[in-house]
Structure 1
Amino acid sequence: MAIKSYQDQAELLLKEYLLAGSSILYTSVIVGICACKMVYDLTQLSSLVYFKSYSNLTKMQRIEWNNRAISTFHAIFITVISLYLVFCSDLYSDYRPGLIIFRSSSLSAFALGVSVGYFIVDLGMIIWFYPFLGGMEYVIHHLISMIAVAYAMLIGEGQLYIYMVLISETTTPAINLRWYLDTAGMKRSRAYLINGVVIFLAWLVARILLFIYFFYHVYLHYDQIKQIHNFGKLLVLTVPVVLSVMNLMWFWKIIKGLKKTLTKRH
């Protein structure tokens, strides 16, 4: 009951103050962009104080250091929201009346807008510093993700499937931590080894098994998917396929990297 009460209060706050009228289309995206800027600046300031190795990094390494803090912040935020909406909330429950494919709420739309703001910032940084922050695969990943998330926020269709895919962001903090450990010269540490195992397990669950469940869910509810706009249907049926292929390619690299690390340890 207490959780339900907090949820109702959060929904009321969002509806009355942040998301009045059509401002949801702008407020949430602006919040996402401003949050990225704030995290970037705070990371830069705190790293100078608490991490001695930060001062020894090159300019581009500092930029990547701060950029990965942004992606970690977004990953934690959107993972918590996604897990709550998909598995804890009754918003997308089969027992509620109405089609799942058309369900949305002020909270779900607002969180998607924050995510759009993040993708705008991160994609902009990737393109501006290309290819230092990531190659073409990152540009493609962010571009199609931003389009799909923005569509779900603006039109209100297929938000459940967007959140199911966004749960895969749970792997991002571990990936970023691995880069931090490597940059700090801790590649031979026990923490680096544990991090590799965590990445393998998290990737297997969040980006392989979860996507299998995703496609199974789409199969069961395909009669609903046929009722959305053609562009929305295209996004639901193609974007996860593209991301799955990329996930499998990266997973193979993770397996080879973990195998290499364990072999050296042995």
Structure 2
Amino acid sequence: MAYKTYQYQAEAVIREYVLSDPFIPYTSVLTGLFICKMVFLLFLSAYDLTRFLSSFYFKGYSSLTKIQRLEWNNRGMSSAHAIFITFMSVYLVFFSDLFSDDISKGPITFRSSNLSTFTLGVSVGYFISDLAMIFWLYPSLGGLEYIVHHALSLCAISYAMLTGEAQLYTYMVLISEATTPGINVRWYLDTAGMKRSSAYLVNGVVVFFAWLVARIILFLYLFYHVYLHCDQVMQMHIMGYLLVFMVPSVLAIMNLMWFGKIIKGLRKTLAKRQ
């Protein structure tokens, strides 16, 4: 009986505080920070799950430098976030009716839900944590381009989370995180000395097509969608439509630059195979 009483009290707290509209952004950000912090603490502890699995499946893990081991585990965290946010973004953009063309639901740029806001908050928590790690170990975990990428993403996601504006376009951009696990696997293979393996070649091909779809073609669709709904975009606060036009444009340029490097790397890998 006492157990059920505590259960009802816990459910009431979750319903009235954690999942109530005013507190969703803050709760979700704390959730994202907590998850990333726990992963980092696990790395520092003797019971680090990532280190345990890595040392079990990759015998050379123990021979890596401290910085390499830290990046190895940090990339595991980024892959977990990428899988989560890609799944949620694809669902919300293409499968839910939240951003459908139903005019009766109002301008598409002002639509949001508890689920979409909470998901953005979790992503904000991740980007804050990862950006802090990049600054702390600069430039070991990434140079200026990573700081620009994370800072722009953090600004756009935070704005969409707090205001409820432009969440559709924010999720379209977040789908590009689908390429992150492939990039991380490529780094793992390189660090493990497997650049000449078949797995490295297959990974390069997969990354090429994933990048082409998620960071080139999808961005073209995003710009086309903004063009078709320009009147609704202009109804947002000036900060909102500036972010809609500026952030995807800057990220698109960076995506093209990185895509050029991917093509160059893939061509070099294929040349060595001939």
Indicate whether 1:103 and 2:106 are aligned: no
Indicate whether 1:122 and 2:130 are aligned: yes
The answer as to whether partners of 2:89 and 2:172 remain within 8 angstroms in 1 is yes
Aligned to 1:62: 69
Aligned to 2:3: none
Aligned to 2:180: 172
Distance in 1 between the 2:218 and 2:14 partners? Answer: 30
Distance in 1 between the 2:237 and 2:50 partners? Answer: 41
Distance in 2 between the 1:117 and 1:43 partners? Answer: 20
Distance in 2 between the 1:150 and 1:48 partners? Answer: 37
Indicate whether 1:75 and 2:82 are aligned: yes
Distance in 2 between the 1:128 and 1:186 partners? Answer: 29
What is the deviation of 1:51?
2.9
The answer as to whether partners of 2:109 and 2:233 remain within 8 angstroms in 1 is yes
Query: Residue 91 of structure 1: SS of its match in structure 2?
Result: coil
Unmatched 5+ residue regions in structure 1?
Answer: 1-12
Matched letter for residue 23 of structure 1: F
Higher alpha-carbon Rg:
2
Runs of 4+ in 1 over 6 A off after TM superposition: none
Aligned to 2:10: none
Distance in 1 between the 2:62 and 2:18 partners? Answer: 39
RMSD over equivalenced CA pairs, Å: 1.5
What is the deviation of 1:54?
1.3
Distance in 1 between the 2:134 and 2:51 partners? Answer: 18
Distance in 1 between the 2:196 and 2:152 partners? Answer: 36
Query: Residue 154 of structure 2: SS of its match in structure 1?
Result: helix
Aligned to 1:9: none
Distance in 1 between the 2:18 and 2:163 partners? Answer: 19
**Aligned residue pairs, count:** 254
The answer as to whether partners of 2:17 and 2:23 remain within 8 angstroms in 1 is no
Unmatched 5+ residue regions in structure 2?
Answer: 1-12, 43-48
Matched letter for residue 94 of structure 2: F
Indicate whether 1:91 and 2:82 are aligned: no
Taking structure 1 as the reference length, what is the TM-score of the superposition?
0.92
- Out of 38, 42, 47, the residue aligned to residue 54 of structure 2 is 47
With over 3 angstroms needed to count, the CA separation of the structure-2 counterparts of 1:134 and 1:110, relative to structure 1, is: same
Indicate whether 1:34 and 2:27 are aligned: no
Distance in 1 between the 2:134 and 2:37 partners? Answer: 15
Matched letter for residue 99 of structure 1: P
Aligned to 1:7: none
What is the deviation of 1:18?
2.8
With over 3 angstroms needed to count, the CA separation of the structure-2 counterparts of 1:91 and 1:143, relative to structure 1, is: same
What is the deviation of 1:193?
0.1
Cα deviation code 1:4-46 (max 9, x no counterpart): xxxxxxxxx9865632242212110111112123344232343
Aligned to 2:4: none
- Out of 249, 252, 261, the residue aligned to residue 241 of structure 1 is 249
The answer as to whether partners of 1:14 and 1:106 remain within 8 angstroms in 2 is no
Query: Residue 165 of structure 2: SS of its match in structure 1?
Result: coil
Indicate whether 1:186 and 2:194 are aligned: yes
